[in-house]
Structure 1
Amino acid sequence: MREGFAFVDELVPGIRWDSKYATRDNFTGKPVDGYLVNRIVGTRELCVALTQARDKAAALGLGILLWDGYRPQRAVDAFLRWAEEPSGHDARKQIHYPAITRPEMFEKGYVATKSGHSRGSTVDLTLFSLASGELLDMGGGHDLMDEISHHGAAGVSAEAASNRAQLCSVMESCGFSRYDSEWWHYSLIEEPYPDTYFDFPIE
């Protein structure tokens, strides 16, 4: 592990995770370069802020589930190569990008050629009920690259809009800023490496 980084679950007990890019359950349909184990990595500063967010969520009867944290630059490069491949019959399209093409993922800002994730202090996450373990309804899943995923999107149920607002309140109160096009994406405002895009693998 690179100095200054850690496995989030080791520093933030009680947090759940499902590293989507280490599995086939992502928009590419296969594990992504650089994700060798199903764990979430982040800067130590990120872990401190997530500890605060975990506690604020718990006070509301809620827990935090992480889908992604630090993302190696080689994974971003793999996304670029994937976007240039002939799509053919893509079983993941209806789940992740039903109304756009692969290149439009980049044009519309859902995937970046230089991702804040690679700086180590950005997370993709959601909330779940501590009582039942069930994920809260957010009006769409992780990496649904569609306008319905935007903050304030029309067509989202009142319950989902309330849950998104609750997540936003928790995260912003703990020093994070939201990304307007993805309800699940938050970055630490005072990130320790604002200009560095790391490429060490998660292993």
Structure 2
Amino acid sequence: MHGDFVFVDEFVSGIRWDAKYATWDNFTGKPVPGYLANRVVGTKALCAALGRARVEAAALGFGLLVWDGYRPQRAVDCFIRWSTQPEDGRTKPRHYPNIDRAEMFERGYVAAKSSHSRGAAVDLTLYHLDTGELVPMGGDHDLMDPVSHHGADGISRVEARNREHLRSIMTACGFAPYDCEWWHYTLEDEPHPETYFDFPIV
């Protein structure tokens, strides 16, 4: 692993994680190349900011559950190949019900060059510290649909408020939101803004 990268769970105490692309529970329907272990990796700067976010979240009664951090470029390349393959319908109803695979890139839900591969981005949600239950957000990870946008119509007031809780926590700790995905945040002062890494997560 590159010297500036660490396992998030070793650097940020109290963090929960479920590395979706290391599992079958993602929009491709199977583990993705480069994710050889269900661990989340990030730069030390990303982890330091996440540590601050964890403290901010705890003050509101929330914990952080991280779905993805550093993403090997080979995983992104896999997404590109996958988008050109014939539709089999296995993950479409849950992850991209109203668009075709190829539209994921043009609509901004998947990037050919991702801030994740620079070690600067994180996908995450909130859970209640007292119960461990996930906070309702009006849609799950990688739901590629307008309902996932910040300020989207079609979600409840509670879900909208919870999204705003996450946004306020993350922006207070040096992260920028992404308009199309309520779960995606990028470190504003990223240490490797021009480098797309491709070492595997093992």
Bin of the TM-score, shorter chain as denominator length: over 0.9
| Gapped regions of structure 1 (runs ≥ 5) | none
* SS of structure 1 residue aligned to 2:102: helix
* Rounded Cα–Cα distance in structure 1 between residues aligned with 2:35 and 2:5: 15
Is residue 28 of structure 2 the alignment partner of residue 28 of structure 1?
yes
Cα offsets for 1:14-64 (capped at 9, x unmatched): 000000000000000000000000000000000100000000000111000
Equivalent pairs counted in the alignment come to: 202
* Rounded Cα–Cα distance in structure 2 between residues aligned with 1:8 and 1:68: 10
Structure 1 segment 64-75 matched on structure 2, within 5 A: 64-75=64-75
* Rounded Cα–Cα distance in structure 2 between residues aligned with 1:108 and 1:167: 23
CA-CA distance at 1:92 after TM superposition: 0.7
2:104 corresponds in structure 1 to 105
CA-CA distance at 1:91 after TM superposition: 1.6
Give the aligned residue type for 1:62: F
* Rounded Cα–Cα distance in structure 2 between residues aligned with 1:73 and 1:90: 26
* Rounded Cα–Cα distance in structure 1 between residues aligned with 2:174 and 2:106: 28
Structure 1 segment 1-203 matched on structure 2, within 5 A: 1-87=1-87, 89-203=88-202
Structure 1 runs of 4+ with >4 Å offset: none
CA RMSD of aligned residues (A): 0.5
* SS of structure 1 residue aligned to 2:124: strand
CA-CA distance at 1:131 after TM superposition: 0.3
CA-CA distance at 1:167 after TM superposition: 0.1
TM-score (norm 2): 0.99
* Rounded Cα–Cα distance in structure 1 between residues aligned with 2:56 and 2:65: 14
TM-score (norm 1): 0.99
* Rounded Cα–Cα distance in structure 2 between residues aligned with 1:76 and 1:3: 22
% identical equivalent positions = 65
* Rounded Cα–Cα distance in structure 1 between residues aligned with 2:179 and 2:43: 23
* Rounded Cα–Cα distance in structure 2 between residues aligned with 1:201 and 1:130: 32
* SS of structure 2 residue aligned to 1:64: strand
Give the aligned residue type for 1:121: A
Give the aligned residue type for 1:138: M
